[in-house]
Structure 1
Amino acid sequence: MTTERNVCEISPVNGLQPTRLTLFVVVHLFGRVAGLIIGACVGLKYFQIAGLAIGAVVGFLLGHIVGYLPTWLGTRWMFRSIEKSATAELKDSLDQGEWNFWQTMTLLQLAARKENVQPYLPRILAMLESDETLTRVYGWDALRLVFTELSQRIDDYEPRARVEECRRKAALLHEYLAGLPS
């Protein structure tokens, strides 16, 4: 289990697996490209060739900051929303639809509140064996963040590996758990 910490203290990029192309990723990429082009054009117009290079770098950095702002604000909103939610609301959200980053952070918040998260372990183990890579990624993240000791038993698990390999490693956890007293 995790130590008593607030979900907001855990960085969303703290070893978590990147998942898919989102609007936030596109905005971030567009911000960098637009910043690079605008910076290069402004630099070239006012300071010739040296200005082109310096303007491109400065523009890229500013575009990076501005482009990342929606991601940062959205992440902060998500963590605050989870942190302020009632325990019953958090438990309800774990039973809705496909698992995603929100559910992983919700489960982590429940663990931080010292709630019993063991009933969710079978679902997470099933996610490790899924045919879908993204589901395995979310399952692996949840296992590493919430059930840290268990994840260390299959430390070399790679959610993007072949399904058969993922199932073989998940079976090691099933065997270990079957040998534990109830």
Structure 2
Amino acid sequence: MSKLKLMTIVGTRPEIIRLSEVIKKCDLYFDHTLVHTGQNYDYELNQVFFEDLSLRAPDFYLDAVGEDLGETIGNIIAKAYKLLSERKPDALLVLGDTNSCLSAIAAKRLHIPIFHMEAGNRCFDECLPEETNRRIVDHIADVNLCYSEHARRYLNFEGTARERTYVTGSPMAEVLHANLEQIRNS
């Protein structure tokens, strides 16, 4: 039997760090495609983390950064749509509330199931763009993977079906455990 095809899209240093151990497991258990949007595009905000966390290079770079925020968001969605259409994954995994997570909009249009890690987090400040991103991705995701029961309750209160929300905890414990010696030696 062939492995399920999973695509993970990242674009920022926090996503790379938090997903580092998840990416390694996805590489083992899925036909896994790793995509970087280019949202953080300089060495210190990108490549150094792949090296320090012993992560393989992404399969694709979307080079989505535009002249302004609107162009960048548009590029993320459009370029993700093109790649998702070509690769036809069985599911998309995104984490958090960055603009790169808005690639989920493309997956939704293509009827590709979306798994959203760090779902349900809320700061209740509508002026923050991350709050808008969170709400969009939470409500279009097919499966919301919450860090806490508190986050799950927010989603359920907002109308997300309980059977679409799961409390998984944060992947940071695994990241810290895997890198403890390196942290101690730094």
TM-score > 0.5, shorter chain as reference? no
The structure that has the greater radius of gyration is 1
Normalization by structure 2: what TM-score?
0.31
Larger strand fraction of residues: 2
Report which of the two has the higher share of helix: 1
